A and B are shown apart, each in its own frame.
Chain A
Amino acid sequence: MQGLGSVICEDLAINDDGIFEANTILSYKPLTIEQLPEIVIDFVETNDPFGPYGAKCIAEPPAISVAAAVANAIYDASGLRFDQLPITPARIQQKMLRRNAGR
């Protein structure tokens, strides 16, 4: 959920003067229970050359790859590539308008 939040909703906004604009929970917008999607858990067996007995840690990596997965899904749906998080409906709309206007 932290991974999903980082891509659709959570914005640690800092303005040009380096001042935090999202310094309340209400403006940072962590995900709520109503935004829980269906999550299917599956395991991929790998062999990490650095990990003990080839193991890889299980806690943090999923949070990172969710953002990439969602961004790829958005590309697949719209043809738009994003390099900044979060990818909100507003940002998708702006990019789409710019693309349609030929910019």
Chain B
Amino acid sequence: MKVMVPKNLEEALDILVADPNVKIVAGGTDILPRINQGFESYQTLCYTNDFPEMNSITTMSDERVFVGASIKLATITNKSCLASYEALVDASAKVATPQIRNQGTIVGNLLQENRCKFFNNQVPWSDINRCFKWGGDRCFQYLKSKECVALFQSDLAPALIAHNAMLIICSKRGKRTVPLQNIYLRGGKKAIQHDEIVLGVLLPPLKGIERSTYVRITERPSFDFPLISCAIRMRQIEDKITDCSIVFGSAGSMPAIFVDAQDTFIGRRIHELQELSEIVKPKISRLIAPFKDTRNNASTRRNMANLAFDDALEKIVNRFLENR
């Protein structure tokens, strides 16, 4: 395997154009374990790090905040200019372990490969009958599925979608800015062209009284990916909720936005939310894909999603109340 180490962004983009099979590596904490475990192999990797366009955190003149793609997760947790983006800080503080957070990057976390026990284990069935993710023609999670249903287990994605974050993506053809949730496609694919590099994340300015939170449910408090997670962000102006985002992570092959709850909460007051949530909670199960891992099944996942939602709602209500 060849690892190219371009000296700047232009050189990296040239490498991607020249070879359609090159894979980008940033922190390495997503792709290198899979290469070490033999799930994937590549002829060429392109290492992107320390390009000035991608390694800064800047508050712009219109108060939007740019977080460069190469910024490590540990840096995000401790940056004072990001402290008000509480869901982002909560999420980045709890990813995996301190060592992973020191090495993994924000965009690496957002673009990570989906995970499934039939793919991420070195088991013989992938030799005999390859599943979609292995390049084959079937799914072992649901035998009738026509596409891969591996779970997208990123922590930062639900938090940043709740924050209405955008991604800035560049290539030799120019730059484009897209809402983060539009990156995630069915089958675990991401809407990034091969010759593109994500420069960073753009966070909108906070308005009024804006609080957010992120809750994750895991088997162990470190190392593990979330079984289910829930990010909630709300904006309160003159005692009423004027804007609300609720996003579930590890819900399916992409984060799931809880539109029913969002619509129900807008225009209401903080102290009404927990009672109102009982009306919308039955709709959570539609958002949570049934998915088997070694310890959980569809019904436990739905129950966990309810718990994560309750927990996140309680946390954010408390955050609003402590403001007064």
Contacts and interface: CB of A to CB of B under 8 A. Distances in A.
Determine if chain A interacts with chain B: yes
A70 to B, nearest CB: 16
A9 B219 contact: yes
A24 B299 CA distance: 25
Interface in A1-55: 9, 11, 13, 17, 19-24, 26-27, 29, 31-32, 34-35
Interface residues of B, number: 22
How extensive is the interface on chain A, given as a class? 20 to 34
Contacts of A9: 219-220
B125 interface: yes
Contact of A27 (B117, B221, B300): B117
A91 B22 CA distance: 43
Nearest to A97: B299
Nearest to A28: B294
Contact of A20 (B123, B221, B222, B303): B123
Contacts of A97: 299
B42 interface: no
A34 B121 CA distance: 26
A94 B292 CA distance: 14
B294 A21 contact: yes
A25 to B, nearest CB: 8
Contacts of B125: 17, 19
B120 interface: yes
Nearest to A33: B222
A26 B294 contact: no
Contacts of A24: 37, 120-122
B20 interface: no
A59 interface: no
Contacts of A35: 220-221
A19 B123 contact: yes
B319 to A, nearest CB: 24
Contacts of B299: 94, 97
B11 interface: no
Given A21-B123, A23-B123, A29 B117 contact: no
A84 to B, nearest CB: 12
B296 interface: yes
Nearest to A20: B123
B264 to A, nearest CB: 26
13 contacts: A9-B220, A19-B123, A20-B123, A21-B121, A23-B122, A24-B37, A24-B120, A26-B224, A34-B220, A90-B295, A91-B295, A93-B300, A94-B300
